[in-house]
């Protein structure tokens, strides 16, 4: 390698490789899912215990339930 270039790195004017786009796309999906799960968990945490009980979940199950809701929303 001459000039300290990193092998496989795109040069000016070259498009990034498909694997780079796949990696970035995956990272964005994980980030978005994390934000959605946190928002859902926050919304559930604001509910009173009686309402959570009617929904069939206990306060310590909120985050797990939020994950399931978000995962289910993606599969519909």
Q: Are 63 and 41 in contact (CB under 8 A)?
A: yes
Per-residue pLDDT tens digits for 1-55: 455 555 555 566 677 788 999 999 999 999 999 999 999 999 999 999 999 999 9
- Is this structure's pTM higher than 0.95? no
pLDDT band at 67 (very low <50, low <70, confident <90, very high): very high
Residue 75 or 73, more confident: 73
Angular region, 9: left φ>0, alpha ψ -120 to 50, beta rest? beta
Domain boundaries along the sequence of the chain: 34-75
Locate all alpha helices (DSSP H) within 1-76, ordered by sequence: 18-45, 49-55, 62-75
Instruction: Name, in order, each residue with C-beta under 8 angstroms of 74's C-beta and a sequence gap of 6 or more.
Output: 33
Q: Are 39 and 5 in contact (CB under 8 A)?
A: no
Q: Are 68 and 41 in contact (CB under 8 A)?
A: no
């Amino acid at each position: 390698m001459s000039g300290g270039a990193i092998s496989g790195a795109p040069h000016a004017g070259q498009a990034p490789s498909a694997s780079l786009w796949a990696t970035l796309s995956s990272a964005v999906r994980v980030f978005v899912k994390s934000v959605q799960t946190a928002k859902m968990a926050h919304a559930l945490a604001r509910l009173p215990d009686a309402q959570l009980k009617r929904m069939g979940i206990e306060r310590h199950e909120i985050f797990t339930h939020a994950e399931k809701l978000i995962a289910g929303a993606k599969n519909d």
